[in-house]
Amino acid sequence: ARSSLGAKGLILPHSIGTIDSDYRGELFVLMTWIGDSDSYTIKSGERIAQLLISPVPDVSFKEVDLEELSETVRGSGGFGSTGRF
């Protein structure tokens, strides 16, 4: 959603969404009204969302044994292991 809508009280409940490449239906934007009045009317032509088309890289994976991987500073550290989370 556009950031200006939040100031009006209209928000996206699930943030960013991804549309699968094989989807062929109509696109929808699910929004939630949290403003002071009973409702909000979206006027024809009002900009409520943005679409970003991202290329999908054609990748392939190679399965290797754990012993084939080199040691790293991070090792097997997960969330928060770098001190930034």
pLDDT tens string 45-55: 988 888 888 88
Find the DSSP H helices in the chain.
3-8
Q: Kindly report the pTM of this predicted structure.
A: 0.47
Task: Say how many domains are in the chain.
Answer: 1
Tokens linked to 26: 């109509």
Single-letter amino acid code for the residue at 44: S
**Residue range of the domain that includes 38:** 1-19+26-49
pLDDT computed for residue 62 by the predictor: 94
- Which is nearest to 15 in space by CA: 6, 25, 7? 6
- Of 13-27, 38-52, 71-85, highest mean pLDDT: 38-52
Least confident of 10-14, 29-33, 37-41, 68-72: 10-14
Q: Is residue 44 part of a domain?
A: yes
Q: Is residue 76 part of a domain?
A: no
Q: Is residue 64 part of a domain?
A: no
Q: Is residue 33 part of a domain?
A: yes
Check pLDDT > 80 for residue 26.
yes
Check pLDDT > 80 for residue 77.
no
